[in-house]
């Protein structure tokens, strides 16, 4: 008989476990690029902005998009900067704004990272339509949880 407080009944535990196992599946692929999963997420945002010809995102914008506070994001950006993948540039219009800009090396890493989504899709061993449906359900859940 199940009980509402059984671990296996908890949505939060299923999400937590799936998240941890997903990050673990990414690890060997990201090690080839010498980046961590959080660094990969930052680079995904920067690569998309660059590809779309959008302005370089601000540190604040990155934090909002990735749900990261500045205490987590700043050291992460410092490590990416030390690796030569990004630079942080203060806005000339508003010195409080700092933009995160891909370097040439950061842009070139994009080519090497292109294989990652396909490799992960194989690891999930699920039909793509099921994965897309799950992603969309999670996006919907996130949107509902964001709303106060």
* Tens-digit pLDDT profile for residues 35-50: 999 999 999 999 999 9
Q: ∠29-35-36 over CA atoms, to 5°?
A: 85
**Model confidence over 18-33: pLDDT tens digits?**
999 999 999 999 999 9
User: What CA–CA distance (Å, rounded) separates 127 from 122?
Assistant: 9
Confidence (pLDDT) at 147: 83
Which of helix, strand or coil describes residue 96?
Answer: coil
Confidence (pLDDT) at 95: 86
User: What CA–CA distance (Å, rounded) separates 144 from 79?
Assistant: 33
Percent of the chain with pLDDT over 90: 89
User: What CA–CA distance (Å, rounded) separates 10 from 89?
Assistant: 44
Q: Which domains does the chain have, with CATH numbers?
A: 26-114 (1.10.10.10), 116-148 (no CATH)
Answer yes or no: is pLDDT of 148 > 80: no
User: What's this model's pTM, rounded to 2 decimal places?
Assistant: 0.92
Answer yes or no: is pLDDT of 141 > 90: yes
User: What CA–CA distance (Å, rounded) separates 48 from 33?
Assistant: 18
């Amino acid at each position: 008989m199940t009980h509402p407080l059984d671990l296996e009944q908890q949505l939060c535990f299923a999400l937590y476990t799936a998240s941890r196992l997903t990050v673990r599946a990414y690890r060997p692929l990201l090690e080839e690029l010498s980046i961590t999963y959080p660094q990969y997420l930052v680079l995904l945002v920067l690569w998309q902005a660059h590809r779309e010809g959008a302005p370089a995102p601000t540190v604040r914008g990155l934090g909002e998009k990735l749900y990261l506070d500045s205490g987590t994001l700043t050291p992460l950006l410092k490590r990416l900067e030390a690796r030569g993948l990004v630079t942080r540039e203060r806005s000339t219009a508003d010195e409080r704004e700092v933009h995160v800009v891909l370097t040439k090396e950061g842009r070139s890493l994009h080519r090497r990272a292109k294989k990652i989504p396909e490799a992960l899709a194989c690891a999930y061993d699920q039909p793509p339509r099921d994965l897309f449906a799950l992603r969309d359900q999670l996006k919907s859940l996130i949107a509902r949880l964001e709303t106060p």
